[in-house]
């Protein structure tokens, strides 16, 4: 192959910022190759542009691996010390921005190893003993994801705290509850907000459960079959804070179901946040006029001067599609892969990383925004009053006074039709007007026709009564404080 057709010219090499890579036959795996990698293929197969963010966990994994190799007598104490201090220098170079990532060295693993060898010489070449990039990368992603899970768990907790406090603040604020987006029955705003909390509580529990399966160590599986060295996998697992080493080497290097599971958790969070967003967007509209979002969470229009747009919830709603899309990518990535490792798996990183970034951004936006939601209590109340939201209460009243429920339903239906015609809510009708529909209606009916009467009456676990909302938010806050 001519230089022209293999495309490796000096511009290409310099353009990648390569250090110490030399010709492609000098790749760490170059021994059996007789010609350099095609320049396009080199770019096409490389992952360093996106997997360099694993550098910290890659080094963490290597330090533990070298420590274990020393404990079992494969490396000497001196070699271990050289490797560890070399890796720490590499880490410092990366963090100071001095490190030159090379596409010629394909991925984060070979970039770091090559740089280590530049620094400490032949001992650097011993680090990869008893290990493959296959178990190395699987370990790195698990370590990386585990740390991110812990950050996300805290952010969900912060959001839930905000929701519980908002619920407490608005425990007796009345709004219309909806089914089919039609006014159904009055509820308290606090109760509505606690419904959001329930969604996130389940998401949190899913996350904690997912973490258990993430926190298992593949290292030691080597390429696929294990290794001939007398490794101590329990020791490496302990050094890295894994719950245990994995059980099967073939499975360890091949499956990415833990990442799929995480993205499935993330998709559910995003779907929940998207539902919340939809409500915030509706509520902030002039038509609903239930809430105000502070200016700092909104933007304006370049043409319509009156506009204040709820961009944050809108973007979160939009990003739900993106995260769910990544979940689909990962599932399709996995399907039909034969055991054990396949290069397909390199495609796990970009979707997973984008899910992490997106989810963290959305959770932060929400946790910051929720405490700042301004409730327009009068307007909510007016909406609840206008929509015949206490019709069920009137029916229940009739039942208590001896009418069968189906008949009561019919009676109240007629009263509502009358109210629509007269433009009057049930609570605005006189006793005489109401008695046209049933003789069982007496003066005490007005206790149940009021909005307060309606919500206070639903005073049981899970009900909308302010007393229940206060108690439920206290339970939520108590639960969060023990996490
Ligand atoms: N960059 C690869 C990945 O992300 C690392 C493992 C490559 N292993 C191999 N034998 N080519 O999956």
Q: Say yes or no to pLDDT of 53 above 60.
A: yes
Calculate mean pLDDT across residues 361-367.
98
Ligand 1 nearest-atom number relative to CA 108: 1
46 Cα: distance to centroid of ligand 1 (angstroms): 9
Answer yes or no: 301 catalytic.
yes
Long-range contacts at 435-440 (CB < 8 A, ≥ 24 apart): 437/411, 437/412, 438/398, 438/403, 438/411, 440/398, 440/401, 440/402, 440/403
Q: What angle do CA 83, 98, 88 make, to 5 degrees?
A: 20
Mean pLDDT (the chain) is 94
Q: What percent of the chain has pLDDT over 70?
A: 95
Answer yes or no: 172 catalytic.
no
Ligand 1 nearest-atom number relative to CA 349: 4
Candidate list 180, 302, 460, 481, residue with the active-site label: 180
Q: Say yes or no to pLDDT of 13 above 80.
A: no
Nearest CA to ligand 1 atom 3: 346
Write out pLDDT tens, residues 394-427: 999 999 999 999 999 999 999 999 999 999 999 9
What does pTM read for this prediction? 0.92
Write out pLDDT tens, residues 85-135: 999 999 999 999 999 999 999 999 999 999 999 999 999 999 999 999 999
Distances (CA, A) of 16 to 95, 112, 115, 366: 19, 16, 16, 39
Q: Is 345 in the pocket of ligand 1 (CB under 6 A)?
A: yes
Lowest mean pLDDT segment, chosen from 6-10, 231-235, 239-243, 315-319 = 6-10
- CB distance 337 to 254 below 8 Å: yes
133 Cα: distance to centroid of ligand 1 (angstroms): 6
Predicted confidence at residue 165, as pLDDT, reads 98
CB-count burial class (<10 Å; 0-12, 13-18, 19+) for 454: buried
Residues facing residue 292 across a β-bridge:
374
Q: What angle do CA 234, 235, 240 make, to 5 degrees?
A: 100
Predicted confidence at residue 12, as pLDDT, reads 36
Q: Say yes or no to pLDDT of 331 above 90.
A: yes
At residue 25 the predicted structure's pLDDT band, cuts being 50, 70 and 90, is low
Ligand 1 nearest-atom number relative to CA 223: 10
At residue 299 the predicted structure's pLDDT band, cuts being 50, 70 and 90, is confident
70 Cα: distance to centroid of ligand 1 (angstroms): 25
Q: Say yes or no to pLDDT of 15 above 80.
A: no
Predicted confidence at residue 304, as pLDDT, reads 85
**Nearest CA-CA partner of 314 in 293, 287, 289:** 293
| More reliable by pLDDT, 3 or 217 | 217
* Number of Cβ within a 10 Å radius of residue 480: 18
155 Cα: distance to centroid of ligand 1 (angstroms): 32
Rounded to 10 degrees, the C-alpha dihedral 288/292/293/299 comes to 80
Q: Is 111 in the pocket of ligand 1 (CB under 6 A)?
A: no
15 Cα: distance to centroid of ligand 1 (angstroms): 23
**Nearest CA-CA partner of 347 in 36, 145, 51, 87:** 51
Predicted confidence at residue 172, as pLDDT, reads 98
Distances (CA, A) of 328 to 259, 263, 324: 12, 9, 6
253 Cα: distance to centroid of ligand 1 (angstroms): 10
At residue 24 the predicted structure's pLDDT band, cuts being 50, 70 and 90, is very low
Residues 6+ apart with CB under 8 A from 361: 319
Query: Ligand 1 pocket test: which of 343, 350, 353 has the largest number of ligand atoms within 8 Å of its C-beta?
Result: 343
Q: Is 47 in the pocket of ligand 1 (CB under 6 A)?
A: yes
Q: How far apart are CA 242 and CA 239, in angstroms?
A: 8
E strands within 275-433?
A: 291-292, 374-375
**Nearest CA-CA partner of 160 in 276, 243, 320, 26:** 276
Q: Is 236 in the pocket of ligand 1 (CB under 6 A)?
A: no
Q: Is 343 in the pocket of ligand 1 (CB under 6 A)?
A: yes
Write out pLDDT tens, residues 442-469: 999 999 999 999 999 999 999 999 999 9
**Nearest CA-CA partner of 136 in 181, 106, 157, 167:** 106
């Amino acid at each position: 192959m001519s230089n022209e057709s293999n495309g490796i010219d000096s511009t290409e090499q310099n353009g990648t910022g390569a250090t110490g890579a030399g010709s492609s036959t000098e790749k760490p795996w170059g021994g059996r190759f007789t010609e350099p990698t095609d320049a396009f293929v080199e770019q096409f197969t490389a992952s360093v542009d996106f997997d360099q963010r694993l550098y910290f966990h890659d080094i963490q994994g290597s330090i533990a691996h070298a420590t274990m190799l020393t404990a079992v007598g494969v490396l000497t104490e001196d070699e271990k010390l050289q490797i560890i201090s070399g890796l720490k220098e590499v880490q410092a170079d990366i963090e100071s921005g001095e490190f030159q990532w090379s596409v010629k060295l394909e991925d984060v693993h070979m970039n770091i190893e090559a740089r280590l060898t530049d620094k400490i010489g032949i001992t650097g070449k011993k680090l990869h003993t008893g290990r493959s990039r296959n178990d190395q990368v699987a370990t790195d992603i698990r370590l990386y994801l585990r740390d991110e899970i812990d950050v996300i768990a805290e952010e969900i907790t912060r959001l839930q705290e905000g929701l519980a406090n908002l619920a407490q603040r608005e425990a007796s604020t009345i709004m219309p509850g909806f089914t089919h987006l039609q006014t159904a029955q009055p509820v308290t705003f606090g109760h509505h907000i606690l419904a959001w909390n329930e969604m996130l509580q389940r998401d949190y529990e899913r996350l904690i459960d997912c973490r258990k399966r993430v926190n298992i160590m593949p290292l030691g599986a080597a390429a696929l079959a294990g290794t001939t060295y007398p490794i101590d996998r329990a020791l490496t697992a302990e050094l890295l804070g894994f719950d245990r080493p994995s059980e099967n080497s073939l499975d360890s290097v091949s499956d990415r179901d833990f990442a799929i599971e995480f993205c499935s958790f993330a998709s559910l969070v995003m779907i929940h946040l998207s539902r919340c967003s939809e409500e915030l967007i509706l509520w902030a509209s002039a038509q609903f006029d239930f809430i105000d979002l502070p200016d700092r969470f909104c933007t304006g229009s370049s043409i319509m001067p009156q506009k204040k747009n709820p961009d944050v919830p809108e973007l979160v709603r939009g990003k739900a599609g993106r995260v769910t899309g990544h979940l689909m990518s990962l599932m399709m990535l996995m399907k039909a892969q034969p055991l054990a490792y396949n290069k397909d798996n390199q495609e796990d990183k970009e979707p997973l990383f984008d899910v992490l970034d997106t989810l963290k951004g959305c959770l932060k936006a929400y946790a910051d925004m929720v405490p700042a939601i301004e409730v327009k209590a009068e307007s909510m109340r007016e909406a609840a009053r206008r929509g015949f939201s206490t019709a069920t209460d009137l029916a229940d009243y009739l039942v208590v006074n001896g009418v069968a429920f189906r008949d009561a339903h019919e009676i109240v239906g007629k009263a509502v039709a009358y109210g629509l015609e007269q433009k009057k809510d049930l609570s605005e009708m006189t006793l005489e007007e109401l008695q046209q529909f049933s003789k069982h209606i007496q003066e005490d009916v007005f206790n149940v026709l009021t909005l307060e009467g309606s919500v206070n009456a639903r005073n049981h676990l899970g009900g909308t009564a302010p007393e229940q909302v206060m108690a439920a938010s206290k339970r939520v806050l108590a639960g969060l404080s023990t996490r």
